[in-house]
Amino acid sequence: MKFYGSSDLSLEIAASVFAALGSEQRLSVLRCLVRAGDSGLSIGKLGERTGVTGSTLTHHMKILTHAGLVTQKKQGRSIICAALAYDAVRQLSDFLLLECCADSSQPDTCDEHG
């Protein structure tokens, strides 16, 4: 899923990405990958750190990958997972703040967040 500027983010895409983040385990996986930085983690190490393993981790990674929040790359015999979430989360945050503040009678309140 490709992200654009927050003004180009459709309600459908935003809902899809928020749905991907709507699981405690997926949020834990994403948080772990963000903390790991650009080098990412092997699927095994990710499972160890999050306590999510096997087919459950595979399922969550598929959803996060489809949402454009993480990548998976084969490196030798390992699968390396890394977060792409930095811009996506920023765009989602901007989307919420812009959309929530669009009809506000108190625009100064919204400016505090942006």
Domain boundaries, the chain: 10-97
- In this prediction, residue 99 carries a pLDDT of 72
- In this prediction, residue 114 carries a pLDDT of 46
Show Cβ contacts of residue 58 under 8 Å, excluding neighbours closer than 6 positions.
Answer: none
Q: Residue 108 and residue 4: Cα distance in Å, rounded?
A: 26
Architecture of domain 10-97: Orthogonal Bundle (1.10)
Q: Which residues pair with 81 in a beta bridge?
A: 41, 72
- In this prediction, residue 98 carries a pLDDT of 79
The model's pTM is: 0.74
- In this prediction, residue 36 carries a pLDDT of 94
- In this prediction, residue 44 carries a pLDDT of 95
Q: If 0-12 CB within 10 Å is exposed, 13-18 middle and 19+ buried, where does residue 105 land?
A: exposed
Query: How distant, in Å, are the alpha carbons of 3, 21, 30, 62 from that of 83?
Result: 14, 13, 7, 13
Query: Per-10-residue mean pLDDT for the chain, 114 residues long?
Result: 54 84 94 93 96 96 92 94 81 77 59 50
- Bridge pairing between strands 41-42 and 70-75: unpaired
